[in-house]
């Protein structure tokens, strides 16, 4: 009798699928629960950001100016202007009034809670608003003297002001009325109101106050101005926002033109493409639109429609391909389920960490579909070929290496100084992990419902000695199998395929049997392609530079461009550069602004205005109050000239003394003035204050020399920076492109080191490392051939190529490691790689047809790079 062993029994190793299954459960159950818990505790409020502000990169002027730029962008990116025009002023005013009434119901607080599309809506400049402003200017008439008035007083020319006041008093036009004349015989508040309306309200434009609205006549047409400020909900790029509502009401008014003026149906000038309006004829009633939200709506709606259409067509083609290859809905359903799970987990992670996720980050993350499809696709092709345990091991290793290389590339985006890229990185990395664990734990592990996919296909087991048709070809049958079971007549040709896929796909798999060409021919072809790429790069090398031209990335429709040009001519918008200023307090900021405005005027670069032109600093208000003391000696004569008795002069002295230290603050301004000040002055959550200096009136874009002069004036002051929004965005994108280039180099080094450690065979490592180099040459050649500079979106495509292009080589390397090159394993791997490339090429090839430049640039880079990586893998396979 055998004695029992005293050694402790060896612990049973758990099946290899249990550990991945545990990780799968932790991810797919833990992540949604964590999001729900954070939501219940109020730690996050997940939502999708569809506003234009989220698309803007950070300012290149440092952290303080970046904070200011973000605050002003949030203010200005929601302001819109509509110009209603007609040959007759009455018709233009009536249409503007009806447009105002149609939008007014969507203005807070008249709309339902949370449904207001507009924060502000302005058409009528009523007498009450002007009266409030006049009262405010009268109350602070000494402190708010304008600069020319203060200069005259300080120069001893008080009599000039007194004479002008008499001329206004006996004249026919009084903007503020004469109700304050008894306390203000020099009409200082009238002078301030005239300067305010001329400089601040109209901003140097050609509009004037007419019958309670701002209007002008230009080229035989009358224009009436309507201003609006969108709410957060109204500025959304999604359907049902404020811009869509403006377009809807305008189209209704165009259709009702006959009711307004007895004319036929109107066209429109400079209208949006959604209205179907051109400029061939001069319509009775027309609308011109100006403002960032109109451009945002036009570009976003067009891009979303294109992406939806192209993605739908691509998914339909992929579905047909998968059904043709597998001839079964189950693999297609498993691929779809894996993809949906990966997208859901990526979204949960992004919402949990960032709370508010921009829709563009999710659109970029749709490349995750191609990755998750690749994993499950390789599994089904290999498993249906029934290649045995060795092939399963190679499949796990191949998928694992591909996952690590792609995962590293996506994680590097987390260090990019751009919120959208970080959101995309987390979304894609977590979704990729989900797809990897789903394939490894559920499909390859044979758990639960997915046991069905682990069973051998009808082709029967294909051992390593199987021939091209899957029939044992050695002299003796396998052990335990009767000879009759392996006779040629016992095998149905229609039921057997070289890779275990559907019979109709068998010819494709049979033609993918080993290397396409001999090693020498393959090397010659690769070398020839590399020389072609290098030649194209050399021919177009002058255009290969980092450049992000905002004008080339987005081009408005001709109608919207015509609208903007018309608004610029009428409202005095200019392309001149402005300035951003900062200070630790409001008083410090206003003093700095006044100092810099004086330096600009002294240097002959005047024509800028800011908040200090409307409400000066306390230091300046005190100085102007003291300058007004020169009027006291003229008070008695002024009252007599106006027909008052002499005792009013004594009251004038008492009132002047009582107003000592009575200074105006922005918080005390009436609505008409406060709205303008809020566009020029903001307080940051950090407690700092920022202001903008804007060009007054329409000006041409400054040339290189003028920019240099303006920059030189700003350089000695650390608290002021020259700003040109379009150029700043382009410069920020240039900086981000350079950052991505560095991340690309870092990702390449990390992947090569990891591959070297994994394989331990440097010739094989170099072969893998050459793949992204070859793909990078193809990307650069494509840019050089088409004359495209290297932009931020191109660089994003380069990094995706690095994460995706190595997969093809990894799968072939794992096959070579298990010496399956002569078995159906090679054919199955080749078929899987071909299908994987086909899915990616279809997806990005469709997006390359988009008219939206950022999407097209990413797609072209990925398509050219992955095509080169695919050729490298196919021609270089052993």
Q: Name the H helices within 359-412.
A: 359-364, 368-384, 389-412
Per DSSP (E only), the strands in 184-248 are 208-210, 213-218, 221-230
What pTM did the predictor assign? 0.69
> Which regions in the chain score pLDDT beneath 50?
1-2, 16-17, 202-204, 258-282, 446-513, 820-822
Tokens of 407: 């995962």
Q: Is 763 exposed, middle or buried (0-12, 13-18, 19+ CB in 10 A)?
A: exposed
Give dist(CA 343, CA 252) in Å, integer. Answer: 41
Q: Name the H helices within 113-230.
A: 127-139, 147-154, 158-169, 188-195
Give dist(CA 668, CA 449) in Å, integer. Answer: 70
Give dist(CA 582, CA 35) in Å, integer. Answer: 39
Q: Are 194 and 167 in contact (CB under 8 A)?
A: no
pLDDT score for 466: 36
Q: Are 779 and 844 in contact (CB under 8 A)?
A: no
Encode pLDDT of 80-124 as tens digits.
899 999 999 999 999 999 999 999 888 876 666 667 888 888 888
Tokens of 242: 């404020």
Q: Are 246 and 80 in contact (CB under 8 A)?
A: yes
Residue 194 has a CB neighbour count (10 Å cut-off) of 16
pLDDT score for 65: 67
Give dist(CA 247, CA 253) in Å, integer. Answer: 10
pLDDT score for 746: 83
pLDDT score for 447: 43
Q: Name the H helices within 648-761.
A: 648-658, 671-680, 704-714, 725-759
Give dist(CA 474, CA 466) in Å, integer. Answer: 9
Give dist(CA 384, CA 709) in Å, integer. Answer: 72
pLDDT score for 508: 45
Give dist(CA 176, CA 729) in Å, integer. Answer: 43
Q: Are 246 and 272 in contact (CB under 8 A)?
A: no
DSSP conformational letter for 58:
P
Tokens 């090693």 found at: 519
In sequence order, which residues have a C-beta less than 8 Å from that of residue 475 and are 6 or more positions away?
none
Alpha-carbon torsion angle 697, 700, 705, 706, nearest 10: 10
């Amino acid at each position: 009798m055998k004695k029992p062993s005293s050694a402790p029994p060896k612990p049973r190793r758990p099946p290899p699928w249990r550990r991945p299954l545990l990780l799968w459960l932790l991810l797919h159950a833990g992540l949604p629960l964590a999001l729900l818990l954070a939501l219940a505790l109020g730690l996050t409020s997940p939502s999708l950001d569809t506003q234009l502000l989220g698309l803007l990169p950070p300012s290149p002027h440092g952290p303080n100016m970046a904070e200011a730029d973000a605050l002003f962008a949030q203010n200005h990116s929601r302001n819109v202007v509509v110009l209603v025009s007609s040959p007759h002023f009455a018709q233009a005013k009536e249409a503007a009034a009806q447009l105002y009434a149609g939008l007014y119901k969507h203005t807070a607080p008249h709309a339902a809670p949370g449904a207001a599309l507009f924060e502000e809506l302005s058409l009528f400049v009523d007498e009450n608003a002007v009266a409030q402003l006049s009262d405010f200017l009268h109350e602070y008439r000494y402190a708010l003297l304008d600069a020319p008035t203060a200069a005259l007083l300080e120069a001893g020319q008080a009599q000039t002001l007194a004479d002008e006041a008499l001329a206004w008093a006996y004249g026919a036009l009084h903007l503020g009325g004469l109700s304050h004349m008894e306390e203000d015989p020099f009409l200082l508040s009238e002078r301030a109101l005239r300067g305010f309306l001329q400089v601040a309200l109209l901003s140097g434009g050609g509009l004037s106050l007419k019958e309670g609205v701002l209007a002008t006549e230009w080229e035989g047409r009358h224009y009436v101005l309507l201003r609006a400020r969108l709410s957060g909900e109204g500025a959304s790029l999604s359907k049902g926002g404020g811009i869509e509502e403006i377009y809807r009401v305008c189209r209704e008014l165009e259709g009702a033109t006959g009711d307004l003026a007895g004319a036929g149906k109107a066209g429109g000038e400079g209208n949006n493409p959604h209205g179907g309006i051109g400029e061939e004829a001069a319509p009775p009633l027309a609308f011109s639109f100006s403002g960032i939200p109109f451009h945002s709506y036009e570009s976003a709606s067009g891009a979303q429609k294109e992406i939806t259409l192209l993605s739908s067509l691509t998914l339909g083609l992929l579905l047909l391909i998968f059904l043709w290859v597998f001839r079964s809905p189950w693999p297609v359903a498993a691929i779809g389920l894996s993809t949906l799970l990966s997208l859901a987990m990526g979204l949960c992670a992004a919402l949990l960490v960032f709370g508010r996720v921009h829709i563009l980050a999710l659109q970029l993350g749709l490349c995750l579909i191609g990755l998750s499809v690749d994993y499950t696709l390789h599994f089904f092709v290999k498993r249906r070929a029934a290649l045995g345990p060795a092939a399963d091991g190679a499949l796990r290793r191949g998928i694992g290496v591909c996952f690590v290389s792609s995962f590293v590339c996506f994680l590097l985006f987390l260090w990019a100084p751009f919120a959208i890229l970080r959101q995309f990185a987390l979304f894609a990395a977590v979704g990729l992990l989900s797809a990897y664990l789903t394939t490894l734990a559920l499909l390859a592990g044979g758990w639960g419902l997915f046991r069905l996919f682990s069973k051998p296909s009808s082709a029967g087991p294909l051992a390593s000695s199987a021939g091209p048709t899957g029939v044992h070809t050695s002299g003796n049958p396998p052990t335990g199998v009767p000879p009759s079971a392996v006779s040629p007549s016992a095998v149905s040709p229609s039921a057997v395929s070289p890779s275990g896929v559907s019979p109709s796909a068998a010819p494709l798999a049979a033609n993918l049997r080993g290397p396409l060409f001999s090693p020498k021919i393959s090397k010659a072809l690769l070398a020839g392609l590399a020389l072609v790429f290098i030649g194209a790069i050399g021919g177009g090398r002058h255009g290969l530079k980092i450049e992000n031209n905002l004008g080339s990335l987005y081009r408005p429709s001709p109608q919207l461009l015509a609208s903007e040009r018309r608004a610029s001519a009428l409202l005095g918008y200019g392309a001149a550069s402005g300035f951003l200023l900062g200070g630790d307090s409001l008083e410090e900021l206003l003093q700095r602004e006044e100092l810099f405005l004086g330096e600009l005027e002294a240097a002959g670069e005047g024509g800028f205005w800011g908040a200090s032109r409307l409400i000066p600093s306390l230091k300046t208000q005190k100085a102007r109050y003291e300058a007004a003391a020169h009027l006291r000696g003229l008070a008695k004569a002024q009252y007599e000239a106006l027909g008052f008795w002499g005792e009013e002069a004594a009251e004038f002295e008492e009132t002047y003394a009582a107003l000592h230290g009575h200074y105006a603050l922005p918080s005390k301004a009436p609505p008409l003035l406060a709205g303008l000040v809020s566009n020029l002055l903001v307080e940051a959550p950090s407690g700092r204050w920022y202001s903008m200096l804007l060009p007054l009136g329409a000006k041409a874009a400054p040339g290189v020399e003028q920019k240099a002069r303006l920059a030189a004036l700003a350089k000695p002051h650390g608290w002021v920076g020259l700003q040109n929004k379009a150029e700043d965005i382009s410069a920020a994108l240039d900086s981000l492109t350079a950052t991505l280039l560095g991340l690309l180099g870092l990702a390449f080094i990390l992947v090569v080191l990891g591959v070297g450690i994994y394989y331990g065979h440097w010739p094989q490592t170099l072969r893998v490392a050459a793949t992204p180099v070859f793909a990078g040459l193809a990307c650069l050649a494509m840019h050089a051939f088409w004359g495209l500079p290297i932009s931020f979106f191109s660089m994003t495509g380069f990094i995706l190529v690095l994460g995706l292009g190595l997969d093809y080589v990894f799968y072939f390397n794992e096959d070579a490691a298990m010496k399956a090159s002569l078995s159906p394993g090679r054919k199955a791997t080749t078929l899987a790689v071909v299908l994987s490339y086909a899915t990616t090429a279809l997806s990005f090839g469709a997006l390359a047809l988009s008219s939206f430049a950022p999407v097209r640039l990413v797609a072209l880079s990925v398509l050219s790079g992955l095509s080169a990586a695919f050729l490298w893998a196919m021609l270089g396979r052993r």
